[in-house]
Amino acid sequence: MNPFTTDAARSLPGPGWLAERRAVAAERFAAADPPTAAAEEWRYSAIADFDLAAYQLAGADASFPPDGTWAGVDSAANGAVAAVLDVADGRIVASRGLDELSKQGVQVGPLVDASDGAEVLGSVADEASDYFTVLNDAFAGCPILVDVPAGVTVEGVIAVRHYAGGVGAATFPRLVVRVGSNGSAKVLDMQRSAGSALVVPVVELDVGQAARLGYVNLQQHDHRAWQIAAHTARVERDAALVAASVALGGGYARTRTDTRLVGRGASGDLLSAYFGSGDQILDFRTYQDHAAPDTTSNLLYKGAVGDSARSVYTGLIRVRPNARGTNAFQTNRNLKLSEDAWAESVPNLEIENNDVRCSHASAVGPVDPDQVFYLESRGVPTPVAERLIVSGFFDEVIDGLPVPSVEDAAREALALKLNQMLKAAA
């Protein structure tokens, strides 16, 4: 029996407006055709293997994350953390530091608690709606809002940690970050899971005039889990967004990133470090949309694939007719660490204004043998040399993470995964 019905959506906890919104989305979803690999945006994806019927809606009795779930990232981020909100299978299970933040007028918690929650939800993501964002609209159990008022600077990191614990369960994390004009915040969004979960997150980043937002998504799903995520952002006049992801987990993990620069002088720095091993498939679709003059976007995605893992990067820079003075850059570099690994990189430009500076670059290749030889000739054993070079390859991204306190955790997570792979190969 299909659990993803309109009735099921309507009966999730929440106020009337949300029940209505969910029901409408569920109807739309039921009427929509599932995507197929024939569609350009799903090319090279694993969508042909997707079977929603294999999952149940995560229940209210879902388990708490087991002790140690956040080990590694917990202590690393601790010193600089202003607040933590833990969400497990669509329920808030723990929090700290929220009261202190609310004294500054900063609200972190259920979106339905905000007086204008109904207007905020979907205000960014609705413009990038697709089959899976609609599914999230229908079944997101507890949308979270991080709301930073105009003129407020939050010094510490706001960490929202999503955990999917149900075997065979589907969860729909929803995170909305709104930074008012001249406000400033750093948000760390962590995603972990146990077992064969389906996780369909939607993130909305609303960066107001002259505001600054640093966002880091640290994805460490179980290797049996599927993730199909949409990260959407709208950046207003003179505002600056730095949005980064470190993507390590998931059997199939797809992240679609839509960044719309809608106000003059807006900028978006987009970073990602991803690493696939085993038979993982990591899939990234990025969209840099320049919809106003003098906007700047700078994308750097660096990935590595080993064993028989695969990665896909396809990116589009779009410069709209009115976006004169645009600076848009897109770089994707991939290391292929084994014969059976496979990486695809497809950059695209669509430019409708002549007064622009745009470039794109992409590369897929093995670890540079000259670099390996150099280290070996100093007495560094071959596998250690490869580990050092691959870790170093990611440095450029890790050093640029807008949440500095997560750098060490990200480095350690990458190194741990790399070591496991090299050990298994040896």
Partner 1 sequence: MSTLVIEGLRASVAGREILTGVDLEVAAGEVHAVMGPNGSGKSTLAHVVAGRGGYDVLGGSVRLDGTELLGMPAWRRAEAGLFLAMQYPTEVPGVSLLDMLTESVCTPEGAAVAERMSEEAARIGFEEKFLERPVNVDLSGGERKRNEALQLGVLGPAFAVIDELDSGLDIDALRFVGARIEDATTHDGLGVLAITHSSRVFDHLRPDTVHVFAGGRIQQSGGPELADELEAEGYERWTGAVPQPDSDAGTTPFTDPFGDPFADLLT
Which residues bind to partner 1, rule: CB under 8 A? 369-371, 373-382, 384-385, 388-389, 391-396
> Least distance in Å: CB of 78 to partner 1?
26
Closer residue to partner 1 (CB): 182 or 371: 371
Closer residue to partner 1 (CB): 351 or 380: 380
Q: Which residues contact 358 (CB under 8 A, 6 or more apart)?
A: 317, 319, 326, 327, 328, 329, 349, 351
The 10 Å Cβ neighbour count of residue 60 is 11
> Least distance in Å: CB of 368 to partner 1?
8
* Cβ–Cβ < 8 Å for 144, 160: yes
CA-CA distance, 154 to 213, in Å (whole number)? 10
Quick one: tokens of 343? Answer: 């990486």
Closer residue to partner 1 (CB): 228 or 385: 385
> Least distance in Å: CB of 313 to partner 1?
20
Cα distance from N-terminal residue to C-terminal residue, the chain: 46
**Cα 336 to Cα 90, 275, 368, 382, distances in angstroms:** 36, 10, 10, 16
Query: Residue written as tokens 């085993």?
Result: 278
Q: Which residues contact 72 (CB under 8 A, 6 or more apart)?
A: 409, 412, 413
> Least distance in Å: CB of 391 to partner 1?
7
Closer residue to partner 1 (CB): 30 or 380: 380
> Least distance in Å: CB of 382 to partner 1?
6
Closer residue to partner 1 (CB): 27 or 395: 395
> Least distance in Å: CB of 102 to partner 1?
41
| Dihedral sign of CA atoms 75, 80, 83, 89 in order | negative
Buried (b) or exposed (e) across 323-345, using 16+ Cβ within 10 A?
A: bbbbbbbbbbbbbbbeeebbbbb
Closer residue to partner 1 (CB): 29 or 393: 393
